[in-house]
Amino acid sequence: MSVRLISGLRVAAALTFTAVLLGGWSLSQETQRAATASDQPEAEVNVEGFAFDDNELGKPVHGLFQSHNHHWSYKGFGQGPFCGKTFDVEGITKAMVDCPEHEPFGIPAWFEQLASGQSLLTPHSTTGWPTFTDWPRPDSATHNATYYKGIERAWRAGVRLYVDHLVTNRGLCMIYTPRRASCDEMDAIRAQAQEARAFEAYVDAKSGGPGKGWYRIVGSPQEAREVIAEGKMAVILGIETSEPFGCSRKLGKPQCTKEDIDRGLDEVYDLGVRSMFLCHKYDNALCGVRFDSGTNGVVVNLGNFITTGQFWQAETCTGPHHDNTIPPADAGVLALLWSKLQGVVDPVTLPIYPKAPHCNKLGLTELGKYALEGMMKRGMIVELDHQSVKAADETLKVLEEHNYSGVISGHDWMDQGYYERVAKLGGMITPIVEPHGHTADIWRKVKAVADPRYQFGFGFGLDQNGLHLSLPKAGESPRIEYPFTSYDGKAKLHKQIWGKRAWDFNTDGLAHEGLTPDWLEAVRLEAGADAEEFVADMVNGAEAYLQMWERAQQGR
């Protein structure tokens, strides 16, 4: 990280950091003592042994690949809607807390209720430690699902490569109050990159000193291989935001320049970012988006209007590929949202859309192509998800012209008709985590179009803390038996215990990240007769991504 950038970062109130040119972030002595205090209550990991303990430098990596998640959402969105944190130097009792505006009894938590599909004024327990009565849970929109002891459990069970996306959204920030920070998206990206470095230093402090922790942010495939050979988890920072570098779109006109893009790419690269979306949820100066459906579609379309001055511009698709169908407006939902926007924007009537299937009229813009080429020059990974089918097609054409392998669809936000083109480039496709055999189903589809020139491997995208509410719930997956073993048989996993709460995937679903290994066991069962082949491809997931990244760094 450059000194130029460090000087502009805001330091969190609870933590003090020193930027060291060669050593990166370090905790102050006072904070280090707090982080290593032995009298703090803490969640358990409940894993015996250690999966994939035999990785060596110079040999193919064995280990699982997590392609899409959000550990620092609480530092985005104006620091408003998300409750709890991934870590706190004072422990779980300070980290895993409800939002103060959810009091009393969860009744005022309108955004949680709306996004989670509940009736307004639905109560919930606001108590976290030690009971965790009502949260986290698979269908909670706002309660943190990535407390770090869950991440540690996933690492112990075999996750070796991890893409962690810095995420925010100005439109949602403007809808939600109270806000505790700016709605500027790049400010939020900087704050989240800072929090990731803070966590790395925190884990180091708990592990004996700088560089000794199991969580390591990496900037190159070679560095990732070195980290994994040490038995640690290599973490790649990504960006999933609607207005990267200030590249918003207002009444059809771009609000950034090529110079802004150059400066922005340089800055985020210095922050450690190596993977990025060009657009997300709202049309911007770089590309048009793939629409949301359902209630989320109503909310996000309104956000598109707030940020761009226009609702989504849709037409009836004439080709084989299409975006999600824009839902009709729900009067009750709209009335609630307009009430939250008083003083921000005046109510207007939503457009009437043509018949489905719907396609966004906006594709990849000239500025978007410029940003794409800038990412390629830097050897970055291009995230295709959330682009409209028109933009994705045009992006793939640019990648094909350059024979550029560094492309991924990491969480099911791309038309499946593009699978083969991604595979022929040597890119990767991994599904979002959903129930009812979804992961095994996508694995079969992706493997059917795999290009034999490239190492095939598979992974999964959790998308927790990202308003993903289709995570497996109780009874939506095969029943697993405790204890169970990791995919290589070297780790034995028991139910994870947080205070008085023992988490059971069979009755709790994928409520938080610590239940990822439990879900992986259920997916193994879902694969049925193909389980052995499925597990082998999952174990090759990290290696497949690293080879793709290496090709991208070589410009091919």
The pLDDT tens digits of the residues spanning 339-351 come to 777 777 777 878 8
490 assigned to some structural domain: no
pTM of the model: 0.93
Residues 232 and 159 in one domain: yes
What is the four-CA torsion angle of 515, 518, 520, 524, rounded to 10 degrees? -160
Residues 18 and 151 in one domain: yes
Q: What percent of the chain has pLDDT over 70?
A: 94
Predicted confidence (pLDDT) at residue 3 exceeds the cutoff of 80: no
Q: What percent of the chain has pLDDT over 90?
A: 81
Quick count: other Cβ atoms within 10 Å of Cβ 78? 23
Residues 208 and 353 in one domain: no
Of 308, 335, 360, the last residue of a domain is 360
Transcribe 310-377 into DSSP letters. Answer: S---EEE--SS---PPPPPPPHHHHHHHHHHTTTT----PPPPP-SSSEEES--B-HHHHHHHHHHHH
Predicted confidence at residue 115, as pLDDT, reads 83
Residues 235 and 315 in one domain: no
Predicted confidence (pLDDT) at residue 333 exceeds the cutoff of 80: no
Q: Residue 174's closest CA among 165, 166, 184?
A: 184
525 assigned to some structural domain: no
Domain count across the chain: 2
Q: Which helix (H) or strand (E) holds 195?
A: helix 185-207
Dump pLDDT digits (tens) for 134-146. Answer: 999 999 989 999 9
542 assigned to some structural domain: no
Q: Which helix (H) or strand (E) holds 95?
A: helix 92-95
Residues 186 and 256 in one domain: yes
Task: Collect all residues with Cβ–Cβ distance below 8 Å to 313 and sequence separation of at least 6.
Answer: 283, 288, 360, 361, 362
Residue type, 455: Q
Residues 174 and 87 in one domain: yes
Residues 268 and 301 in one domain: no
In the predicted model, what is the mean pLDDT of the chain? 92
553 assigned to some structural domain: no
Predicted confidence (pLDDT) at residue 27 exceeds the cutoff of 60: yes
Predicted confidence (pLDDT) at residue 500 exceeds the cutoff of 60: yes
Residues 208 and 253 in one domain: yes
Transcribe 125-164 into DSSP letters. Answer: ----TTT--S-S-TT-SSB----HHHHHHHHHTTEEEEEE
524 assigned to some structural domain: no
- Which region among 16-20, 210-214, 483-487 has the lowest average model confidence (pLDDT)? 16-20
165 assigned to some structural domain: yes
Predicted confidence (pLDDT) at residue 243 exceeds the cutoff of 90: yes
In our burial notation (b when 16+ CB lie closer than 10 A, e otherwise), range 273-289 reads bbbbbbbbbbbbbbbbb
Predicted confidence at residue 17, as pLDDT, reads 37
Predicted confidence at residue 67, as pLDDT, reads 99
503 assigned to some structural domain: no
Domain of 23 in residue numbering reads as 3-92+143-275+372-377+404-448
Residue type, 162: Y
Q: Which helix (H) or strand (E) holds 382?
A: strand 381-383
Residues 45 and 188 in one domain: yes
Which runs of E-coded beta strand occur in 154-221? 159-168, 215-217
**Dist CA 84 CA 32 (whole Å):** 21
**Dist CA 264 CA 484 (whole Å):** 46
Predicted confidence (pLDDT) at residue 239 exceeds the cutoff of 80: yes
Output the CA–CA distances (angstroms, integers) from residue 426 to 307, 529, 552, in the order listed: 35, 28, 10
Residues 152 and 236 in one domain: yes
Predicted confidence at residue 33, as pLDDT, reads 67
Of 448, 483, 507, the last residue of a domain is 448
Residues 242 and 203 in one domain: yes
Band of pLDDT at residue 276, cut at 50, 70 and 90: very high
Of 416, 448, 480, the last residue of a domain is 448
Predicted confidence at residue 1, as pLDDT, reads 34
Residues 242 and 178 in one domain: yes
CA 30 to chain centre: 32
523 assigned to some structural domain: no
Band of pLDDT at residue 397, cut at 50, 70 and 90: very high
Predicted confidence at residue 9, as pLDDT, reads 35
Give the pLDDT mean for 190-195: 98
Predicted confidence at residue 5, as pLDDT, reads 32
